[in-house]
Amino acid sequence: MTYILNIETSTKVCGVSLSKNGELLDAKESFEDNSHSANLAPFIDELLKKNSIEYSQLSAIAISKGPGSYTGLRIGTSTAKGLCFALDIPL
């Protein structure tokens, strides 16, 4: 089973989705301005818990590459890279 965590932080929307074998399982997003740094980690945690998925079950993490907010992209990229490093999975 392939679980991929998808992260979108390049726009005003802070969004996270979870896919299994290429099919969307669930998603969570916020349209609040400048809330990416506050919302991203809790969104990831909530999404995984809601779907009974452990971090260790993730096969990869995908992030949006822009164009968009430089700060938003840095938030998404640094979060994704940290998780990928800790879990030893591809970005």
- How many other CB atoms are there within 10 angstroms of residue 14's CB atom? 26
pLDDT tens, N- to C-terminus, the chain (91 residues) = 799 999 999 999 999 999 999 999 999 999 988 789 999 999 999 999 999 999 999 999 999 988 988 999 999 999 999 999 999 999 9
The Cα diameter of the chain in Å comes to: 35
Closest CA to 42 of 79, 86, 89, 87: 79
Spatial distance between the Cα atoms of 76 and 80, rounded to a whole number of angstroms: 6
Structural domain boundaries of the chain? 3-87
Residue 88, phi then psi, degrees to nearest 5: 55, 50
3-87 maps to which CATH number? 3.30.420.40
